Structure 1
Amino acid sequence: MTGGRLTVCLVAPAMPPTIGGAETLAELLTLTLAGAGVAVRVLTAEPPRPGVAEAVRAAGGDVEILGSTFGPVDGSVGWEWATFARAEAIHRVCSTGRVDIVHALSHDAIVSACIALAGPGAPACPLVATTSEMSTEDTRFGAARSAFVYGLPIDGLLQLSQYYSDVADRHGCRPRARRVAAAVDVDLFTSGSGERGRRLLGVDLDALLVTCPGRFSPRKGQLDLLAALDLLPDGLRGRVACVLAGSTSSASADHRRRVLDGAGRSGVRCAVTAVARADMPDVLAASDLVVMPSHLEGLGFAAIEAMVAGAPVLLADVPGLREIPGAPGQVAFVPAGRPPALAAALANLLSDPDRRRRLAAAGRERALDAFAPRRLAEAAISLYRELLARPATHDVAG
């Protein structure tokens, strides 16, 4: 660290335009660090959105696109290339240029970083990890994967929620320092227009618009929402329009087909559609109620984005989503996996515009304060500086 300026090698498997909370977080962390004067040397698979690389370079960093493939590359089979080529890139960046911190943003990036930092001639850079994998704890080898990754020599954890921090604890991760912080793109999600959103969706101004944002994945609970909509009272059901807005990026095309089938048979007007990230602020601002009926969430970025956009939110009562409010009255909760309870909550909120307005106002104030980008940058930089005050060693043998 020269003159107090930090240089961070940020290993981000993907960024937008790939859609998802982890990808969005990678972009936001990159931009907030660069905005705070950190030189960020980004290693990622595909080109980020326009403007990201320029902002990084303006702060003295750079962006290197490693590419992604399942086929052979330069004499290596795809899996070998994907596993080890990134480790070689991390090692090269750390060995040929001054790097203070390596920050890996996924399980696979952590593995690559540990290989790199154990390589010949690599400097003793502290390794910071941020994990947001949601499928590992309920799959056949998921727990073993988590135990392996969290058993690697991780110096610091910057987790997006207490949920993710607790997962690391359960698998024996004992970093020298940790922080919990998350953020959303406040500038983007305060720019929405409800009128534009209704025009985009083709929804009448007098309809009660219920929006369910999220990837098409069984854990997101979209089928519960469709079942609940059909349980609404007749007089209310005819006034409701529902938009299930998501993508199959890192999710399930088969589940999307089931959602499409359920929407087609629903007694409520339902649209299942992909919405570009640039259009999401308008869609959320147009919504009378945003619903996340998830069975499992690590935090719930889509809910926070909806709050920033000024929409009231109804959330499943699961651990990650419980971390979003800081006080009662900022969000509404409903038991997860129970369509009748969800139908009752929908009916109560859709019939009570004053309560929706109160939820929206309190939720927006909470989200703008607790999930502002500056808080993420402050937490990351504080963690980096704490680790740099003590030497790090990387011994993959433990």
Structure 2
Amino acid sequence: MQMTILHVSQPVDGGVARVVVDLVKGQREAGCRVLVACPPGGRLTAEALAAGARVLEWPAERSPGPSTAAESLRLRRIVRGAAPDVLHLHSAKAGLAGRLAARGSVPTVFQPHAWSFAAVEGRLAEASLRWERFATRWADRVLCVSEQERADGVAAGLEARWQVVPNGVDLRHFAPADSAARRHARMVLGLDQAAPLAVCVGRLCRQKGQDVLLDAWPRVVGRIPGARLALVGGGPDAAAVAERVRALPEPSRVRLAGDVPDPRPWLAAADLVVLPSRWEGMALAPLEAMAAARPVLLTDVPGARECLPPAHRPVALVAPGDPVALAERMSGILGDRIECERLGAAAREHVSEHHDIRGVITQVDGLYRALARRVEVPASRGSRVPQRF
């Protein structure tokens, strides 16, 4: 059965956009008709088009606000016109507008990619939680990327039809980087060939914790004087991060690489990849780093523990928001390049076995088909010819 799938995503960059594009590629290869509704700009439009999707412009702000009602109304028109077999909503804002737009009229999958109520505090967190408790009635499945993300939803009082499918990466795209690839990447990027290098790939925002990493970094340099740090990514906190870097004691040896179209050269150059997030569902950046045979150091947030090889968890996890613990662990790993290579090889093997994107696509396809088979079209609608784009 050829399915029509409509993905809706408000984030148009970062890990959520990568997840959408990877799903689009696999679904188009399987012969599905795939549409993506998203705001203009960012990478998602161009990459979804290149993957074979039809992209529908859906202007939407990242956060809820006065524009949400109009965004939901526009999305309702898109859903009706596309007549999808399955509606897949990615992240909190698309989940809000999409569930209001469809209200259970189409088989709906909501994928939070980290809970909205974990990202805020006070009354806003309370409002987000109330909404999620109410809106689960309009999702045929809540698709989590880690068991911890699901458990956090259950603990918060969400009553939903759950499914867990861990994130995956394209192992052909993120190939292991050997010593020759490291030398080449460092030459192209203008990096010292011998210096221990830590790389953080992620959107510059509070969630990803680059401020904690910069607080930890002087301690690392104190223990490993030649160490370098590269922050790869752009985002709303770019100016604040740059100011923090300027305020570091000299020599800080921190490089702001900005937003890059392809992180693979930075992964190839790295000895260690660090992501000190405050919250996640299951971040893609560590999976991509491990696929490139690079060791990772993560904060113990949802998805982090599950994505790591079990033997790595004692050394590759620290508590979120603790720059002292982060510095101590970074120094221990970064100061031993042979150990970095060993950990990286084991990480690649683990990702190959447990986080291949092909397995993710197969599981999601099975979910879609189970939902689509369950839908009965009322007789009054049976003769309606849906509008096709």
Q: Normalising to structure 2: TM-score of the pair? A: 0.83
AA partner of residue 13 (structure 1): Q
Q: Tell me by how many angstroms 1:370 deviates.
A: 1.8
**SS in structure 2 of the partner of residue 132 of structure 1:** coil
Alignment partner of 1:139 out of 90, 104, 121: 121
Map 1:174-323; keep pairs closer than 5 Å: 174-176=159-161, 178-190=163-175, 193-232=181-220, 234=222, 236-248=223-235, 251-253=236-238, 255-262=240-247, 264-278=248-262, 280-323=263-306
Partner of 2:88: 103
Q: Using a 3 Å threshold, how does the CA distance of structure 1 residues 349 and 14 change in structure 2: closer, same or farther?
A: closer
Partner of 1:87: 76
**SS in structure 2 of the partner of residue 328 of structure 1:** helix
Q: Tell me by how many angstroms 1:133 deviates.
A: 4.5
Residues of 2 paired with 1:225 and 1:115: CA distance?
Answer: 38
Partner of 1:386: 370
Q: Tell me by how many angstroms 1:30 deviates.
A: 1.5
Alignment partner of 1:9 out of 1, 6, 10: 6
Residues of 2 paired with 1:68 and 1:113: CA distance?
Answer: 11
Q: Tell me by how many angstroms 1:362 deviates.
A: 0.6
**SS in structure 2 of the partner of residue 227 of structure 1:** helix
Residues of 2 paired with 1:135 and 1:112: CA distance?
Answer: 14
- Do structure 1's residue 339 and structure 2's residue 323 form an aligned pair? yes
**SS in structure 1 of the partner of residue 274 of structure 2:** strand
Partner of 2:386: none
Deviations 1:237-279 (A, max 9, x none): 321111111211xx434542443334x435431112314132x
AA partner of residue 40 (structure 2): E
Q: Using a 3 Å threshold, how does the CA distance of structure 1 residues 287 and 171 change in structure 2: closer, same or farther?
A: same
AA partner of residue 318 (structure 1): V
Partner of 1:37: 31
Query: Does the CA-based 8 Å contact 2:203-2:233 persist in structure 1?
Result: yes
Task: Tell which deviates more after alignment, 309-318 or 205-214.
Answer: 309-318
AA partner of residue 130 (structure 1): Q
**SS in structure 2 of the partner of residue 185 of structure 1:** coil
Map 1:45-56; keep pairs closer than 5 Å: 45-46=39-40, 48=44, 50=46, 52-56=48-52
Q: Tell me by how many angstroms 1:287 deviates.
A: 0.5
Deviations 1:91-147 (A, max 9, x none): 2222xxxx32111113332333334435xxxx9431111112455323231332233
Residues of 2 paired with 1:191 and 1:245: CA distance?
Answer: 19
**SS in structure 1 of the partner of residue 172 of structure 2:** helix
Q: Using a 3 Å threshold, how does the CA distance of structure 1 residues 50 and 391 change in structure 2: closer, same or farther?
A: closer
Residues of 2 paired with 1:361 and 1:386: CA distance?
Answer: 37
Query: Does the CA-based 8 Å contact 1:158-1:181 persist in structure 2?
Result: no
Query: Does the CA-based 8 Å contact 1:222-1:259 persist in structure 2?
Result: no
Query: Does the CA-based 8 Å contact 1:36-1:377 persist in structure 2?
Result: no
Partner of 2:339: 355
Alignment partner of 2:16 out of 6, 12, 22: 22
Residues of 2 paired with 1:213 and 1:276: CA distance?
Answer: 10
| Structure 2 residues not aligned, in runs of 5+ | 378-389
Partner of 1:129: 110
Residues of 2 paired with 1:218 and 1:116: CA distance?
Answer: 30
Q: Tell me by how many angstroms 1:378 deviates.
A: 1.2
Query: Does the CA-based 8 Å contact 1:289-1:312 persist in structure 2?
Result: yes
Q: Tell me by how many angstroms 1:306 deviates.
A: 0.8
Q: Using a 3 Å threshold, how does the CA distance of structure 1 residues 56 and 171 change in structure 2: closer, same or farther?
A: farther
Residues of 2 paired with 1:100 and 1:241: CA distance?
Answer: 50
**SS in structure 2 of the partner of residue 291 of structure 1:** strand
Point out the structure with the larger helix share: 2
Partner of 1:396: none
Partner of 1:371: 355
AA partner of residue 28 (structure 1): D
**SS in structure 2 of the partner of residue 329 of structure 1:** helix
Task: Tell which deviates more after alignment, 355-364 or 225-234.
Answer: 225-234
**SS in structure 2 of the partner of residue 265 of structure 1:** coil
Q: Using a 3 Å threshold, how does the CA distance of structure 1 residues 65 and 334 change in structure 2: closer, same or farther?
A: same
**SS in structure 2 of the partner of residue 189 of structure 1:** coil
**SS in structure 1 of the partner of residue 338 of structure 2:** helix
Query: Does the CA-based 8 Å contact 2:182-2:270 persist in structure 1?
Result: yes
Partner of 1:159: 144
